[in-house]
Amino acid sequence: MKTIVRAGTLLSALLVAAPAFAQDLTFWSWRQEDRAAYEQFIDTFEAANPGITVKFETFEATNYNTILSTALAGGTGPDVMMVRAYGGLENVAVAGYLEELTTDSVPALANFAEPALAAESVRADGKIYAVPFASQTQLVIYNSKIFADNGIEEPQTWDDLMAASQKLKDAGIIPFANGTATAWQNETVTFGLGSSLMGKAFYDELMAGTADFTDARFTSALASVNELAQDYFPDGFIGLDYPSAQQLFSSGMAAMFVGGSYELATFKAQNPDIEMGVFAAPGKTAEDAKLVGLYFDGGYAVNAASPNKEAAITFVNYLASPEFGQAFANTLNNISTIPGVTFDNPLLAEVNDLNKSSIPYLMLAHFRYGEPSGSVLIQGEMQKLFSGETTPEAIGEALTTGLAAWYEPFKK
Amino acid sequence: MPQFRMTGRGLWITALIVPPLCFVALFIVYPIISAFAYAFFDWQGLKRLDFVGLENFHTVLFVEPYRSWTLNAFKNNIIVFFALMVLQNGLGFILAYALWRELPGARFHRIAVFLPVVLSTIIVAYLFKLFYHPLFGVVNISLKSIGLGEWAQPWLGQSGTALWSIIAAQAWHMVGFPTLVFLAGMQRIPSEILDAVRMETESEWVKITKIVWPLVAPSATIVFTLLFVGAFNWFELPYIMGGLDGSPFGSTDVLGLYFYRTAFGNVSAGQQDFGLGSALAVLIFIFIAAIAAVITTRLRAREIQL
């Protein structure tokens, strides 16, 4: 009863004399580890916008989608929330729970990069539902001290990478820390290592509908990734889970880690003394473009049913501002999507440079819109490949026929 | 016209019965009925669209890729059920018999066997995940130290060993429960019967097969039925040890995980479908209820009243 009265009061206040009344916004997130930073951002916002208070609430990341969906369906959702990108966004946006954002309501959106906005739009109508907050890059992270001690440079060709790995193995160091027992790590490993081998031309043709996954550029990349994994991933890597793999790298037992740029902060937290570098896994020759896999993490969205919509939009405008982007990049060590942000952290600056030569992180960006999703397929199929139960060609076939269940260009 | 008068007593009874009835209706009957209802609608994310009749049931049972996912998960549940029947209930019976016979150290072992049951499932799952670790796990290190290095495996990473590794963890965790139930059953056997047996034979085997086993039938009914329900609702251990996708490639997928993924989506799938999820839940519910009813009536029939 109390909440109804309060909501009613707020609503009428909004209609009658909007700015004069204090408004409480709730803001949901799955970034439990970033709580302190967000509290600080919110303080800045509240200081500049008296009368609006924001309450930050976090939920466990793996169950966040479920919790958010359930709350929105039950009408108890937050005013402002983090939402996922791509297919994950569509789940909530198509159901009509999110307020459409336009360059009228959030003018700063006009400056955002096209792929970033596409990640937070619904494909059917192209409408934007969230302010994208961070991009992530799939690449190779290395321990620069181990590289220097063993006289290894960032590899320019695939053969360089294999040779460097062999050198490390001979020196008694695990070349790559990665394990593939955790399903989603298979996708990371595949595209973190294989994007340059697949190449931009393959990506463009795949999108144009003139190539599919049976393409030799794709299957031969899978074969190379498998070859590297068998020789240079830890013993029994198919039974090694994600947290253990992270520990192998951050403890300095392994020299490289194929993963997302989001790992950099984790490794630094696990071992503050670690010195790291990043590179894009190379292609066959030094002339092949070195590509990283790029994707957008999620965005800030407004609840369409929020009683404090105006205040929520004001807050989202702050979340889209260069001032916030800069604070976000500096405090959270993440690549903000807001244009014009600079990076104090030299590693982030390097990742930001590598992003200029990229292809989208394939399955997430384009193949998570139906069942079976490309991600689920590639994860399972790569696990089979790593344990010797399938071939790259069979994977190409399985992906193409599997996705044909809902992906129009593959339907014959 | 009979007059209904609220006497003091009637008022009391009504006042005491209505709240729990409302509670049960609201939190048990209503969710079950609504899950049934959800299964007959088409869903887009969380938005309910049209009534589609039995189409969701048809999809999960007969349309690819759902068909093979359903069959794979169901097959794994069956393996889990039979494996646990042997490893958990079978071993439980033997342990109970040994404890009942008061072998040396029975008091200590009675506690030791039951102790893992008290541990939280999460703790057991993480503990065994560490045991099975390919590099530092106690299983592989022990094998290597006794010269069986080639038996060392990435236990949770191979389709051949992953499910069995999790089953072993489950059996270790819960073996104390059937043990306790069987032990209670054995302790109820009247000593006159046991004295009479002793006159006839000294054979433990005869005693087990002819006397103990038939007389603990009520305990067997309980543990078999509970194991059946548990095996087909299995979720926590495979979720923590194999992940929501039943990694590697569905080898540890069970109906519980599959239902959760379908209804609520997971990070890699990006799709969630309450209709298909509810249809699965309804099918699982009907299957468990039907088979559990059969098991219970069959097993009840062989129970002997003492």
Residue intervals in chain A for CATH 3.40.190.10: 2-134+297-345, 136-295+355-410
Contacts of B158 (CB under 8 A, 6+ apart): A238, A239, A387, B248, B251
pLDDT at residue A19, as a whole number: 44
Band (pLDDT 50/70/90 cuts) for residue B45 is low
Q: Please name the helix (run of DSSP H) or strand (run of DSSP E) that holds residue A67, with its range, or none.
A: helix A64-73
Tokens of B264: 């609520």
Is residue A202 within 8 Å of residue B267, measured between CB atoms? no
Largest CA distance in chain A: 75
Domain A2-134+297-345: which topology?
A: D-Maltodextrin-Binding Protein; domain 2 (3.40.190)
Q: How far is A89 from chain B (nearest CA, A)?
A: 8
The answer to whether residue B265 scores a pLDDT higher than 90 is no
Contact A239 B243 (CB under 8 A): no
Contact A368 B64 (CB under 8 A): no
- B218 touches A: beta carbon within 8 Å: no
SS3 A175: strand
B-contacting residues of A 82-141, CB under 8 Å?
Answer: 84, 86-88, 90-92, 94-97
- Cα–Cα distance for residue pair A29/A308, rounded to 1 Å: 18
Q: What is the pLDDT of residues B157-210, one digit of tens each?
A: 888 899 999 999 999 999 999 999 999 999 988 888 888 888 888 888 888 888
Is residue A181 within 8 Å of residue B157, measured between CB atoms? yes
pLDDT at residue A58, as a whole number: 92
pLDDT at residue A17, as a whole number: 45
Of A92, A376, A381, the CB nearest to B45: A92
pLDDT at residue A163, as a whole number: 92
Contacts of A357 (CB under 8 A, 6+ apart): A280, A289, A290, A291, A292
pLDDT at residue A220, as a whole number: 93
pLDDT at residue A4, as a whole number: 56
- Cα–Cα distance for residue pair A362/A191, rounded to 1 Å: 8
Q: How far is A241 from chain B (nearest CA, A)?
A: 8
- B186 touches A: beta carbon within 8 Å: no
Mutation site for B-interface testing, chosen from A381, A387, A407 by largest number of B Cβ within 10 Å = A387
Residue of A335, A355, A342 whose CA lies nearest to A280: A355
Mutation site for B-interface testing, chosen from A62, A120, A238, A395 by largest number of B Cβ within 10 Å = A238
Q: Where are the beta strands (DSSP E) in A59-169?
A: 80-84, 131-132, 134-143
B64 to chain A: closest CA residue: A405
- For residue B27, tell me if it sits in a domain: no
Q: Which domain does B105 fall in, by range?
A: 58-301
Contacts of B230 (CB under 8 A, 6+ apart): B84, B174
Q: How far is B20 from chain A (nearest CA, A)?
A: 23
- Cα–Cα distance for residue pair B171/B144, rounded to 1 Å: 25
Mutation site for A-interface testing, chosen from B43, B131, B271, B276 by largest number of A Cβ within 10 Å = B271
Rg (CA), chain A: 23
pLDDT at residue A277, as a whole number: 92
Output A190 or B45, whichever has higher pLDDT: A190
Q: How far is B272 from chain A (nearest CA, A)?
A: 7
- For residue B13, tell me if it sits in a domain: no
**Residue B269, CB-side half-sphere exposure with 13 Å CA sphere:** 20
**Residue A25, CB-side half-sphere exposure with 13 Å CA sphere:** 28
Rg (CA), chain B: 24
Cis peptide before B104 (omega within 30 of 0): no
Mutation site for B-interface testing, chosen from A60, A63, A241, A366 by largest number of B Cβ within 10 Å = A241
What are the start-end ranges of the H helices in A238-308? 242-250, 263-270
**Residue A38, CB-side half-sphere exposure with 13 Å CA sphere:** 21
Of A69, A368, A373, the CB nearest to B46: A69
SS3 A293: strand
SS3 A57: strand
Contact A239 B134 (CB under 8 A): yes
Of A94, A371, A381, the CB nearest to B45: A94
Handedness of CA B275, B276, B281, B287 (dihedral sign): positive
B-contacting residues of A 62-91, CB under 8 Å?
Answer: 62, 65-66, 69-70, 72-73, 84, 86-88, 90-91
Output A369 or B94, whichever has higher pLDDT: B94
- Cα–Cα distance for residue pair B129/B165, rounded to 1 Å: 9
- Report angle CA A356, A362, A364 to the nearest 5 degrees: 110
Tell me the CATH number at B215. Answer: 1.10.3720.10
pLDDT at residue A123, as a whole number: 85
Number of domains in chain B: 1
Domain A136-295+355-410: give its CATH code.
3.40.190.10
Contacts of B195 (CB under 8 A, 6+ apart): none
Handedness of CA B293, B295, B301, B305 (dihedral sign): negative
**CB burial of residue B73 (10 Å; 0-12, 13-18, 19+):** buried
B-contacting residues of A 275-334, CB under 8 Å?
Answer: none
| 3 state SS for chain B | CCCCCCCHHHHHHHHHHHHHHHHHHHHHHHHHHHHHHHCCEEEEECEEEEECCCHHHHHHHHCCCHHHHHHHHHHHHHHHHHHHHHHHHHHHHHHHHHHHCCCCCHHHHHHHHHHHHHCCHHHHHHHHHHHCCCCCCHHHHHHHHCCCHHHCCCHHHCCCCHHHHHHHHHHHHHCHHHHHHHHHHHHCCCHHHHHHHHHHCCCHHHHHHHHHHHHCHHHHHHHHHHHHHHHHCCCHHHHHHCCCCCCCCCCCCCHHHHHHHHHHCCCCCCCCEHHHHHHHHHHHHHHHHHHHHHHHHHHHHCCCCC
- Cα–Cα distance for residue pair A189/A222, rounded to 1 Å: 10
The answer to whether residue B74 scores a pLDDT higher than 90 is yes
Residue A174 DSSP class: E
Strand partners, A347: none
Chain B residues whose beta carbon lies within 8 Å of the beta carbon of residue A124: none
Q: What is the pLDDT along chain A (412 residues), one digit of tens a residue?
A: 455 555 555 445 444 444 445 689 999 999 888 899 999 999 999 999 888 999 999 998 877 888 888 888 888 889 999 999 888 888 888 888 999 999 899 898 888 888 889 889 998 888 999 999 989 999 999 999 999 999 999 999 999 999 999 999 999 999 999 999 988 999 999 999 999 999 999 999 998 889 999 999 999 999 999 999 999 999 889 989 898 999 999 999 999 999 988 888 889 888 999 999 999 999 998 888 899 999 998 999 999 998 988 999 999 999 999 999 999 988 887 888 888 888 888 888 899 888 888 888 988 888 888 888 888 899 999 999 999 999 999 999 999 999 998 888 888 7
Q: At what angle do helices B274-301 and B255-264 cross, to 10 degrees?
A: 160
Chain A residues whose beta carbon lies within 8 Å of the beta carbon of residue B47: 94-96
- Cα–Cα distance for residue pair A68/A25, rounded to 1 Å: 16
What amino acid occupies position A272?
Answer: P
- For residue B83, tell me if it sits in a domain: yes
Is residue B191 within 8 Å of residue A276, measured between CB atoms? no
Contact A375 B65 (CB under 8 A): no
Mutation site for A-interface testing, chosen from B133, B164, B247 by largest number of A Cβ within 10 Å = B247
- Cα–Cα distance for residue pair A364/A403, rounded to 1 Å: 13
Contact A239 B155 (CB under 8 A): yes
Q: How far is A323 from chain B (nearest CA, A)?
A: 30
Largest CA distance in chain B: 90
A180 to chain B: closest CA residue: B157
pLDDT at residue B47, as a whole number: 67
According to DSSP, the β-strands at A358-360 and A292-296 are parallel
Residues B188-213: b if buried by 16+ CB within 10 A, e if exposed: ebeeeeeeebeeeeeeeeebeeebbe
Chain B residues whose beta carbon lies within 8 Å of the beta carbon of residue A182: 243, 247
Residues A197-213: b if buried by 16+ CB within 10 A, e if exposed: bbbeebbeebeeeebbb
Q: What is the pLDDT of residues B19-44, one digit of tens each?
A: 999 998 888 888 888 888 888 888 77
B-contacting residues of A 176-215, CB under 8 Å?
Answer: 179-184, 187
pLDDT at residue A191, as a whole number: 93
Of A72, A87, A240, the CB nearest to B270: A87
Average pLDDT over chain B, rounded to an integer: 87
Is residue A274 within 8 Å of residue A142, measured between CB atoms? no
Of A87, A248, A402, the CB nearest to B65: A402
